[in-house]
């Protein structure tokens, strides 16, 4: 079967950036190994310069099916697949539903191994340190529930800005293990120094902390936490860290060693653009003893990360499409994506900061910021007020957003553009914000 050509058109073709598309890298599952897409850029511009090149980003956008009838600024939920990735996914689905168990039993393990290898490579770690999961939640819940380092009287630390379900699981340790769960109140508009200080103060006040849930990028307002600095300080005090990277990978550009974490959970269906249903667990080699194998795990080789999850039958086609998603992600460039998303954020954030009726939430400086940020009407912190604001934006201005309600400082509206969002759409948000006065 022929596979369509994937073409990211551009005024000038980018030398050196040509990605092998989609299922071409899928070994046995590939229907065709010939296709390639080519990504243009604008003459070796730096990521920061390219960020404002609307022509380049229009070309990128042409590789996605566009949403009709609304300006969608709620892309923190999951990431739409680019057309080449969707095509690879369709082919994979077709293959699975044609070859059925004959494929799944004989060839899928090798395709899964290749997908895992690509993820490990992209994250800068070894293959055996990565296990593909159905989502970040599967990875992080297992890490928390299977953590063995607690005894009654110990404490665990989480933050108001963590992901709500993980906060609940950390609090559940209180009844399950007889430990204290402490919820840190983090500033909603902050820089790296303030965020580190916040954790240092908590470590000082609670010397019995043994386990920390640390979020790299908060789903509430896109704030980037200084993971490496916090982990370094935690480790000095004998505190283990589980890092939630569900929202960060692809929204910002990094590799795991830069974070210095031992255990982390990721999503590929947010900013890497895989089909929904792909996450990853990272466990650094030789750090597995404190995380028990999945209950009842029969493999006697306890030293391997895959014994910490039991995913069972899942969406084969989603995993088969991982190489295509990563190829497309790399073709745009992780650094280019990060810079473009931050640029779009700054277009509205810098204006909103000067509007007295608006309070902005998120990173104060470049290091603490992502493309995702939040706002609320000044002084209006209730969930009801935030819901009303979300409705006004949707019904009166045609802008779709989402309410976030986990922060101690109150509820807010989260704004999350994607790589296919045009600067003009952000301008419409700015115009709307001004009219909210
Ligand atoms: C910071 C953070 N952690 C965890 C998750 C959970 O991701 P998933 O539902 O894909 O497991 C999300 C999803 O929005 C998130 O933003």
| CA distances (Å), origin 21, targets 35, 82, 120, 434 | 6, 11, 19, 43
Its pTM stands at 0.92
Residues listed for the chain: 437
Gap from CA of 391 to ligand 1 centroid (Å): 24
Q: Say whether pLDDT at 25 is over 60.
A: no
Ligand 1 mutation target, pool 247, 252, 271, most atoms within 8 A of CB: 247
Closest ligand 1 atom to Cα of 162: 1
Gap from CA of 246 to ligand 1 centroid (Å): 5
The Cα–Cα gap between 293 and 300 comes to 10
Gap from CA of 152 to ligand 1 centroid (Å): 29
Q: Say whether pLDDT at 263 is over 70.
A: yes
At 66 the pLDDT is 93
Residue nearest to atom 4 of ligand 1 (CA): 246
At 208 the pLDDT is 98
Residue nearest to atom 12 of ligand 1 (CA): 246
Residue nearest to atom 14 of ligand 1 (CA): 77
SS3 (DSSP) at 243: strand
User: How remote is the C-alpha of 73 from its chain's centroid?
Assistant: 16
Short-list 324, 297, 318, CA closest to 309: 297
Q: Say whether pLDDT at 11 is over 70.
A: no
At 35 the pLDDT is 41
Gap from CA of 372 to ligand 1 centroid (Å): 14
Q: What is the pLDDT of residues 123-149, one digit of tens each?
A: 999 999 999 999 999 999 999 999 999
Q: What is the pLDDT of residues 329-383, one digit of tens each?
A: 999 999 999 999 999 999 999 999 999 999 999 999 999 999 999 999 999 999 9
Closest ligand 1 atom to Cα of 216: 1
The Cα–Cα gap between 236 and 128 comes to 27
Which tokens belong to 216? 């790299």
Domains detected in the chain: 110-325 (3.40.640.10), 336-435 (3.90.1150.10)
Closest ligand 1 atom to Cα of 136: 11
- Rg, the chain, Cα only: 22
Identify the burial level of 15 via C-beta atoms within 10 angstroms of its C-beta, where 0-12 means exposed, 13-18 middle and 19 or more buried: exposed
Which tokens belong to 277? 């249903």
Q: Say whether pLDDT at 52 is over 80.
A: yes
Short-list 12, 14, 15, 34, CA closest to 23: 34
Share of the chain above pLDDT 70, in %: 90
Closest ligand 1 atom to Cα of 217: 1
At 38 the pLDDT is 52
Identify the burial level of 181 via C-beta atoms within 10 angstroms of its C-beta, where 0-12 means exposed, 13-18 middle and 19 or more buried: buried
Q: What is the pLDDT of residues 179-209, one digit of tens each?
A: 999 999 999 999 999 999 999 999 999 999 9
At 364 the pLDDT is 97
Q: What is the pLDDT of residues 218-228, one digit of tens each?
A: 999 999 999 99
Confidence at 302, pLDDT banded by 50, 70, 90 = confident
Short-list 121, 130, 118, CA closest to 285: 130
Closest ligand 1 atom to Cα of 218: 1
The Cα–Cα gap between 228 and 111 comes to 33
The Cα–Cα gap between 298 and 300 comes to 6
């Amino acid at each position: 079967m022929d596979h369509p050509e994937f073409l990211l058109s551009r005024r000038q073709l980018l030398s050196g950036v040509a990605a092998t598309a989609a299922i071409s890298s899928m070994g046995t599952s590939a229907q065709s190994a010939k296709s390639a897409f080519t990504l243009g850029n604008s003459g070796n511009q730096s990521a920061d310069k390219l960020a404002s090149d609307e022509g380049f980003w229009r070309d990128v956008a042409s590789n996605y099916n566009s949403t009709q009838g609304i300006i969608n600024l709620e892309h923190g939920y999951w990431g739409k697949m680019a057309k080449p990735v969707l095509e690879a996914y369709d082919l994979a689905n077709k293959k699975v539903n044609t070859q059925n168990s004959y494929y799944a039993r004989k060839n899928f393990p090798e395709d899964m191994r290749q997908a895992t290898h690509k993820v490990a490579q992209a994250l800068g770690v070894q293959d055996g340190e990565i296990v593909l999961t159905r989502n970040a939640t599967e990875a992080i819940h297992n890490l928390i529930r299977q953590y063995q380092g607690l005894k009654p009287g110990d404490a665990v630390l989480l933050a108001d800005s963590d992901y709500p379900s993980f906060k609940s699981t950390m609090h559940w340790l209180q009844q399950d293990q007889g430990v204290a769960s402490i919820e840190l109140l983090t500033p909603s508009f902050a820089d790296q120094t303030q965020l580190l200080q916040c954790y240092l103060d908590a470590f000082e006040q609670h010397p019995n902390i043994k386990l920390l849930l640390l979020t790299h990028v908060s789903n509430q307002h896109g704030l980037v936490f200084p993971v490496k600095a916090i982990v370094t300080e935690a480790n000095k005090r004998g505190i283990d860290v589980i890092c939630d990277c569900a929202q960060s990978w692809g929204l910002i550009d990094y590799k795991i060693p830069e974070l210095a974490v031992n255990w982390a959970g990721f999503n590929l269906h947010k900013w890497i653009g895989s089909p929904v249903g792909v996450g990853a667990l990272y466990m650094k080699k030789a750090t597995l003893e404190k995380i028990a194998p999945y209950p009842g795990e029969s493999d006697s080789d306890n030293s391997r990360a895959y014994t910490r999850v039991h995913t069972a039958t899942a969406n084969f086609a989603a995993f088969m499409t991982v190489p295509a998603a990563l190829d497309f992600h790399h073709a745009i460039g992780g650094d280019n994506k990060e810079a473009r998303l931050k640029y779009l954020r700054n277009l509205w954030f810098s204006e909103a900061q000067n509007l007295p009726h608006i309070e902005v939430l998120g990173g104060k400086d470049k290091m603490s910021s992502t493309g995702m940020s939040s706002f609320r009407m000044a002084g209006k912190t209730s969930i009801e007020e935030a819901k009303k604001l979300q409705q006004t934006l949707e019904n009166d201005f045609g802008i779709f957003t989402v309410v976030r309600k986990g922060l101690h400082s109150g509820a807010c509206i989260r704004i999350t553009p994607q790589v296919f969002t045009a600067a003009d759409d952000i301008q419409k948000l700015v115009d709307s914000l001004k009219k909210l006065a």
